[in-house]
A and B are shown apart, each in its own frame.
Chain A
């Protein structure tokens, strides 16, 4: 089966007073149509930046933006901004931004808000768009009569569902969701995850799903990508990953999760992620890695593993 999304050597650097922030630094991965990938990693490692890079939502201080992004084999990086806006963003690739539920427009009714992306980004009439919005409400489990309510009348869970509906209303092929449930309660989160399990099948969505919560990442993931200091250090299918990840950072990350059903004393990773302005040379994880050895002073190779690939000298095939 051919790939739906192929990302090759993607870069997004920001220019700041302190220096150049290498937020996305040579990222590559591939997804088949209908696959869901969880993107996990500590705060500040570049998860949101990677999603912005795929969506070409670039801040003013962008310093470097390059790489290949193929949708069904077509390199959309070559599109002009105009063409990308017309044919790709919101049309083929949609987005639920981080903290979206707090970013809804307070003076616009829920229905109009969901219809908006359709009206703005596709040539849909207002009536048709509102009809579609009503269908979306049903899909994300919001009662029909909420269509005329304002965001402040809704609970957090409902507002997050509205944000999801806005991303789905244009029938996209690929949806990027940035921390879609982290601000929500456990039961609400479980309800939304249940709904997403249906929706992704129903709409045949390819999904990139950003979270810092590793337990929750397993709710949807077919693939797991672990980001560290601007790089994807491991990309793996979910089975291999949750059984035993390959990269030392992934291992420590997984074992830092307190488990409810199994007794396993959680561990922690010493130190903190490095600055993205001046990341360490060689392996970026070396200052925190218990397995560090001489070779780690040099940039680790990308080694293919059972489930995908990982960047670590320990895995080098001899």
Chain B
């Protein structure tokens, strides 16, 4: 895994500020708290976590749609953590975003052509003819063909899967080097999910695109990304090559996540799944130390609830943040 580094994120923090009541105090939702990650050119990395674990916030912070509170984002050798104006605009052009929920992602009163032309206009790319050519190419790339059938349609005339292809086309129209796809298929039927993921995979390979694929669904990532990171309550807790993490999970949370997921099997109805009770903590006042400790059966009193676990390497590429593993390996 020694490709060319595209993205290097260290110690990234992003807290949402909320105010309770008219005169109430400020609260911080610690949605992304001290996250490190790397991505090589042309690599597909998955971030897996339950809803509310901070995945969207992480993606948007990396894309600088949110201002980081702390940490560093190095993209293509440049520090983009706090860039502004011209530099930020350039960064926007080099990155693409497939946002969660295709049904809300496209402006309803714009035609597909207008939707795809807009980023090109914003970035003053090409002449009118060249832009149209790019729109055609992008639609062909996502296989909305014959293009003439789609280009003048409005989003509501398309199925969910077709809308999602338009969102993908828009995310690649400026030839970015990095695309962050936030739950790109979770709103779609299983029968179309695989089709869209295959499509993204082929575009990624063809253009050596770096993709961060955000999802709550571990089983799809197995087929569509080479590495995964597991996120729990604002922190990454385990990471490594996809198969390695799925077949040899170390962190108790990762193990439960895998236990919880059924494969189609008629025997499932006779067995219960081994999962911890309870739900993820509030991110306003998350548990000290390891954020999973209130639900963890391996919890070491006086350690897990006091001190945050650091990196422990299972092997060269597979790491975990867990005191139990660190102490008992």
Contacts and interface: CB of A to CB of B under 8 A. Distances in A.
Interface of A: 36, 42-43, 141, 155, 157, 185-191, 193-194, 197, 212-222, 238-239, 241-243, 252-254, 256-262, 265-270, 272
28 contacts: A42-B189, A42-B191, A43-B189, A155-B279, A185-B279, A186-B50, A186-B260, A187-B276, A191-B277, A193-B273, A194-B272, A213-B190, A215-B219, A215-B264, A216-B262, A218-B265, A221-B266, A252-B191, A253-B191, A256-B194, A257-B190, A258-B217, A258-B223, A260-B218, A260-B219, A268-B194, A268-B195, A268-B198
Interface of B: 50-51, 159-161, 189-195, 198, 216-220, 222-223, 246, 256-266, 268-269, 272-273, 275-277, 279-280
Nearest to B187: A43
A215 B266 CA distance: 10
A185 B273 CA distance: 14
Contacts, number: 122
Contact of A269 (B51, B191, B263, B269): B191
B257 A254 contact: no
A213 to B, nearest CB: 7
Contact of A188 (B161, B190, B258, B279): B279
B191 A221 contact: no
B262 A219 contact: yes
Contact of A185 (B191, B216, B268): B216
A259 B269 contact: no
Given A187-B275, A252-B191, A260-B246, A266 B264 contact: no
A190 B192 CA distance: 24
User: Sorted from nearest, which 8 A-B pairs have the closest CB atoms?
Assistant: A190-B260, A268-B195, A238-B266, A185-B50, A268-B194, A269-B191, A258-B219, A260-B219
Contacts of B223: 258, 265-266
A253 B264 CA distance: 11
Contacts of B189: 42-43, 212
A63 to B, nearest CB: 24
A132 B185 CA distance: 41
Given A190-B260, A256-B191, A260-B219, A220 B269 contact: yes
